[in-house]
Amino acid sequence: MSKFIGTLLMFAGIAFGLWAGLWWGFVGGIMATVDAIRAPELVSSHIAFGIARVCFANPIGLIAGAAVALPGYVLANK
């Protein structure tokens, strides 16, 4: 049973890492930056936060995915 749960956790970690890195970080960062630029008044911190999300999308995805997938790996190989 622990191998099954560990495998599920590994797949969940991969899915969560892809969601956090690709959708929240990369795509969400681009959308936030474009929204900040198109706003009636420019707020530089909103633009900077959107650009930072795009720049750090890969580490965000790796850390988020590893936080879920590594315990699953340990549980599956127990």
pLDDT per position as a tens digit, 38-57: 999 999 999 999 999 999 99
> What gap in Å lies between CA 28 and CA 35, rounded to an integer?
10
Q: What is the pLDDT of residue 36?
A: 96
- Report, as ranges of residue numbers, the positions in the chain whose pLDDT lies below 70: none
> What gap in Å lies between CA 65 and CA 11, rounded to an integer?
9
Q: What is the pLDDT of residue 10?
A: 96
Residue holding tokens 């590893």?
A: 66
Q: What is the pLDDT of residue 78?
A: 82
> What gap in Å lies between CA 54 and CA 51, rounded to an integer?
5
Q: At what angle do helices 44-55 and 28-38 cross, to 10 degrees?
A: 160
Q: What is the pLDDT of residue 51?
A: 97
Q: What is the pLDDT of residue 72?
A: 95
